[in-house]
Amino acid sequence: MSKTTSVTCPTCGVPVEWGPQSPSRPFCSERCKLIDLGAWAAEDHAIPGDLTDDELFSTDLPPQRH
């Protein structure tokens, strides 16, 4: 007998069965999936990084002429 794996929807917190019956997993629905995508696009979510590392590489490219 196999145990069904369940995860929590990152957007709304509803339990979601992990399997082919849940095509939007780990989200409970396409709506929650799009809400999360919108949050990334609006920069509400971000992967932490060190700003000094980003500044090191900003001079690698020549300035653009418009």
Identify the CATH number of the domain in which residue 36 sits: 3.30.50.10
Report yes or no on 63 lying in a domain.
Answer: no
Over residues 3-62, the pLDDT tens digits come to 889 999 999 999 999 999 999 999 999 999 999 999 999 989 888 876 655 566 666 666
For 24, other C-beta atoms within 10 Å of its C-beta total 14
Annotated binding-site positions for Zn(2+): 9, 12, 28, 32
Q: Which domain holds residue 13?
A: 6-46
Report yes or no on 66 lying in a domain.
Answer: no
Q: Which residues pair with 15 in a beta bridge?
A: 8
Q: What pLDDT is recorded for position 47? A: 84
Annotated binding-site positions: 9, 12, 28, 32
Q: What pLDDT is recorded for position 11? A: 95
Q: What pLDDT is recorded for position 40? A: 92
The reply to whether the predicted model has a pTM over 0.75 is no
